[in-house]
Amino acid sequence: MHSRRGGIGRRAPKITDVHRYVVVALLEPLPAGTFFPASQWPLHVTLSTNFDVVAEPEAVAAIIAEIAAATHSFTITGGEQALFGSHHSTPVTLVEPREPLARLHAALVAGLRAHGAVFLYPEHLGDGYRPHATMQTRNRPHPAVLATGRRVLLDTLALVDWPQEGGHGSRRVSSLAPLTRES
């Protein structure tokens, strides 16, 4: 007889054990627990591409909080505009400075991978990461667009999840993690 704790006899994860998330910096404040339609994302900077992980939400939130606590808040500035997406039809504002965003992105990817996260778009990781704020919602300009030259303090990370049961059209701010304030 094999132990349930070892490799043999261990049950494979059920689809309901897999959670899908993305880590963003919300540029419009929303409290944890807030649901919003997938077509109406609040203005944000994506810090990790979507990922799947077999872990409880609290465990994923703890990873994000640990990384946030080790990162100082910093100011970002709206840069030039570009078109993203498979059809190059999604207008975005690129975000500067790239270096602190790239360091934060790398820390998040490494921390999440160490806990089994599988990223859905690996081509957007590492050198493929282009920090940006999406400028539209449902084919309309975003009301709080990050304009070229606009400066915003990046001081909180948000873990956003895709509810598995009947949540195909909604997203939820699962948790918030403040960055360390500069003194």
Structure tokens at 71: 């990162």
Question: Which residues, at least 6 apart from 99, have a Cβ–Cβ distance to it below 8 Å?
Answer: none
In the block, which residue shows the tokens 């959670």? 19
> Would you write out the chain's pLDDT as a tens digit for each of its 183 residues?
444 433 334 444 454 588 999 999 998 889 999 998 888 888 899 999 999 999 888 999 999 999 999 999 999 999 998 888 888 888 888 999 889 999 999 999 999 999 999 999 999 999 999 999 887 655 555 556 788 888 999 999 999 998 665 556 889 999 999 999 865
| Spatial distance between the Cα atoms of 143 and 161, rounded to a whole number of angstroms | 23
| Spatial distance between the Cα atoms of 44 and 76, rounded to a whole number of angstroms | 12
In the block, which residue shows the tokens 């948790």? 175
Q: Give the global pTM.
A: 0.84
